[in-house]
Chains A and B, each alone.
Chain A
Amino acid sequence: MTIVVGYIPSEEGEVALSRAIEEAKQKNSRLIVVNSSKGDQLVDDRLIDAKQHHELEARLTQTGLDFWIQRQSQGIDAADQILQVAEAQRAELIVIGLRKRTAMGKFIMGSVAQRVLLQAGCPVLSLKAKNDW
C-alpha cells in the first residue's frame, strides 16, 4: 500500500511530512513525497533544490521506510500532480498541509488543497501547521 504526501519547504509542509512518516510507519506502507513547481515563476521557493533534496532523502532513509521522492521542476499544477501520482499508485491515503486563506485570497489564488480534497479517490488527511486551541 502507498501513502502520498504533498511537500513544500514550509511549516505546513513539514507538519504534513512528519505525519505522513508516522502513518507510513504504522501501516508499513510505501511513502511517496511529491514536490512540484509549474516553472512559470523565475523564483519559486516551494520547489526543493538539490541540497534540500539530499537532506530529505537522508531523513527518509533514517526512518527505514520504503520511499520515493517525486520532484518536478517544470511540472503540471501541484494538485494535479498529487492526484496523478496517487491514482497511478492506487494510494490508500493522501497527506497534505493546509493553510488559512481568506475567501478573497482563495478566489484569486485558487486552492490546491481544496482540489485535492474534492477530487481524490481515497481518504485525504489535511493538517494545519499548529493547533489553534
Chain B
Amino acid sequence: MDTLNLLMGGFESALTPVNLLFAFAGVVLGTAVGVLPGIGPAMAVALLLPLTFGMETSSALIMFAGIYYGGMYGGSTTSILLNTPGESATVITAIEGHKMAKAGRASQALATAAIGSFVAGTIGTALLVTVTPIVVKFAVSLGAPSYFAIMVLSLVTVTAVLGSSKIRGFAALGLGLAIGLIGMDPVSGQKRLTFGFAPLIDGIDIVVVAVAIFAIGEALWIAAHLRRTPAHTIPVGTPWMGKEDWKRSWKPWLRGTAFGFPFGALPAGGAEVPTFLSYVTEKKLSKHPEEFGHGAIEGVAGPEAANNASAAGTLTPMLALGLPTNATAAVMLAFLTMKGIQPGPFLFENEPDLVWALIASLFIGNTLLLLINLPLAPLWAKLLKIPRPYLYAGILFFATLGAFSVNMQVADLWILLLIGLLGFALRRFGLPVLPLILGVIIGPMAEEQLRKTFQLSSGSASGIWSEPLAVGIYVLIAVLLLLPVLIRFIRRSRGVNTTVADQVLGEAPEQPKHKAGVAYEGRSDEERNDS
C-alpha cells in the first residue's frame, strides 16, 4: 500500500501540464530517433544533456524516460518497413516483420508491434514498481565488496556474453575504463593520465565522452558511407489488426514480457537475448510453424514485447543499484550525477518524489506512445526520406554546442573530436560501443567501491572476497566466462551433430544465421549496439 501511495504521488507530479509536455516531447523525439537507423535514444539523451542544465531535474528525467521508451517503439517501425533495425533490440523483429510488410501485411505487423510494446511496457513498468523496492531493501545491506562484485559482473556480462567477439568487447571495455581513469585520483589526489595537460585534471566529462562516441563517431561513420542505394517505401495504411491477428498475438505478448523483464532487470541487461529467446519460443509453440520465415505475426509480437519489457526491466538495476546496463540508462545516470544526485540504493530514500514521478511518467509515456504510434506510423516512416547530410549536419552542430556548453572550455572541443575519432575507429573495426560507455561510467564507481574495500581490509587483497555474496558472484562470473568454452570443448570431443549440448541449447546454434540475415551495411548488429 505504501508503494501505491508513493506511486499515486508520482502521478500527481507527473501529470502537471509542464511535465506532461516534457513527456510528450520525449516520446515524439524518442520515436523519431528510434525510426532513424544509427541514431538511438542514447545519442538523443546525450545531445539533450546540456539543454537540461536549466531544467527541473524531474522534468528532464521524464523527458529522457519518454525518449528511452519511444526509441523502442520507433525502432520496430524501421525494422518492419525497411529491414534496417534502428537499434540492436529490434533486430529480431525485422526477421518476420519485414517479411510481413513485403507480403502486404505491414499494417498488422506495425499494429502488433505497437500494441505489444504497450502491453509489455505497462506490465514491465508495473513489475518495476513491485520489484525495485525489494531490490533496494536488499541492496542497502550490501557492503563495498559485494557492490564491486556486482559491478564487475555487469561489465563482464555486457562485454563477454552479449557481444559476438569477446576480444573486441574487452578491448572496448579497456578503452572505456582507461578514459574513466583520467583525472585526479579520488583518494590520494594524484594526477592520472593527464600528460601534464591542465584541462584533463578534472577528468573528461561524461557528456563529452557520450556525445563524442554516439554523435561524432556515428556522423563520421555515416560520412564515410554516405551513399547507399536507397530503398523504396512499402505502402502502409493505418495499423490495424483483425480478429485472427489478436488471437495469435496476445499470448506471444505475454510470453515476450515474461522473457524480457527478468533479463532487463538482471545487472547484465540487454534486450538481444530475450528477444531472441522469445522468437525461438514462438516458433516452437506456434500453430503455424510453416509461416515462420515468411512473415508470422507471432514472430513480431513476441520479440517486440520482450524488447519493451526488457527496457522497463533495465530501469530496475539503474534505480535500485545505480547500475546502468545499457547505453541510454548510462547516460541518464550521468545526468543524475551531474545534477548532484547520488545514484544507488539510497536514491529511493533521498529522492522519492523524483523516482516516483519518473516511474509514473513511464506509464504515461507508454500510453502516449501507443496514441502517437498507432495512427501515425506511416507519417513516422516519412522521416526516412530526410537527406542524411542535413540530418547529420544538425547532429554535429548540437553535439559541438553541447560539449562546449558543459564547461565552456575550448579544450573540450578537441577532446570531443579526438574521442569522436575513436568512436569512428570503434565502428570501423567492429568494436562494440556499449562496453566502452559503461566502462567510462561504471569504472570510477567500481573504483570507489574497490578503494573502500581495501580501506576496510587495510590494504589486504582478501577484502575482495570477504563477503559471501561477492564470492558467489565471482563464481557466477567464472561460470559465465567458462561455459561457452566448455560447451565448445564438449561438442568438439563428441562430434558436431549428435551432441547433448545441441539439445540442451535448443536452437541457439541458429543464431548467426538470423543475425547475418539482417546485417546492415556490413556492420553486424552488435556493432550497432545502442548507437
Q: Which residues of B30-71 have CB atoms within 8 Å of chain A's CB atoms?
A: 36-37
Chain B interfacial residues counted at CB < 8 A: 19
The reply to whether the CB of B233 lies closer than 8 angstroms to some CB of chain A is yes
The reply to whether the CB of B289 lies closer than 8 angstroms to some CB of chain A is no
Q: How far is the CB of B484 from chain A (nearest CB, A)?
A: 36
Could you list 7 further interchain pairs (A-B, Cβ under 8 angstroms) beyond the known A40-B388, A42-B388, A74-B227?
Answer: A39-B229, A40-B389, A42-B230, A42-B231, A43-B385, A44-B232, A74-B228
Q: How far is the CB of B94 from chain A (nearest CB, A)?
A: 14
Partner of A39, one of B82, B228, B381, B384: B228
Q: How far is the CA of A73 from the CA of B232 in the complex (A)?
A: 12
Chain A interfacial residues counted at CB < 8 A: 13
Q: Which residues of B379-420 have CB atoms within 8 Å of chain A's CB atoms?
A: 381, 384-389
Q: How many CB-defined contacts (below 8 Å) exist between A and B?
A: 54
Q: Is the CB of B233 within 8 A of A38?
A: no
Give residues in A with beta carbon < 8 Å to B. 37-45, 47, 49, 73-74
Q: How far is the CB of B393 from chain A (nearest CB, A)?
A: 12
The reply to whether the CB of B500 lies closer than 8 angstroms to some CB of chain A is no
Q: Is the CB of B229 within 8 A of A41?
A: no
| A contact patch SS | loop
The reply to whether the CB of B226 lies closer than 8 angstroms to some CB of chain A is yes
Interface digits, B422-465 against A, CB 8 Å rule (1 contact, 0 not)?
A: 00000000000000000000000000000000000000000000
Q: What are 16 A-B contacts with C-beta separation under 8 Å?
A: A39-B230, A40-B226, A41-B385, A41-B386, A41-B387, A41-B388, A42-B36, A42-B82, A42-B84, A44-B232, A44-B385, A47-B230, A47-B232, A73-B229, A73-B230, A74-B227
Q: How far is the CA of A68 from the CA of B37 in the complex (A)?
A: 35
**Residues on the B chain within 8 Å of A39, using CB:** 226-230
Give residues in B with beta carbon < 8 Å to A. 36-37, 82, 84, 226-233, 381, 384-389
Partner of A49, one of B36, B82, B226, B232: B232
**Residues on the A chain within 8 Å of B226, using CB:** 39-40
Q: How far is the CA of A80 from the CA of B385 in the complex (A)?
A: 21
Q: Is the CB of B387 within 8 A of A38?
A: yes
**Residues on the A chain within 8 Å of B387, using CB:** 38, 40-41
Q: How far is the CB of A10 from chain B (nearest CB, A)?
A: 13
Q: How far is the CA of A43 from the CA of B226 in the complex (A)?
A: 13
Q: How far is the CB of B224 from chain A (nearest CB, A)?
A: 13
Q: Is the CB of B228 within 8 A of A43?
A: no
Q: Is the CB of B37 within 8 A of A42?
A: yes
Q: How far is the CA of A42 from the CA of B384 in the complex (A)?
A: 6
**Residues on the A chain within 8 Å of B233, using CB:** 43, 45
**Residues on the B chain within 8 Å of A45, using CB:** 232-233, 385
Q: How far is the CA of A26 from the CA of B110 in the complex (A)?
A: 50
Q: Which of A39, A42, A44, A45 is the most central at the interface, judged by chain B CB atoms within 10 Å of its CB?
A: A42
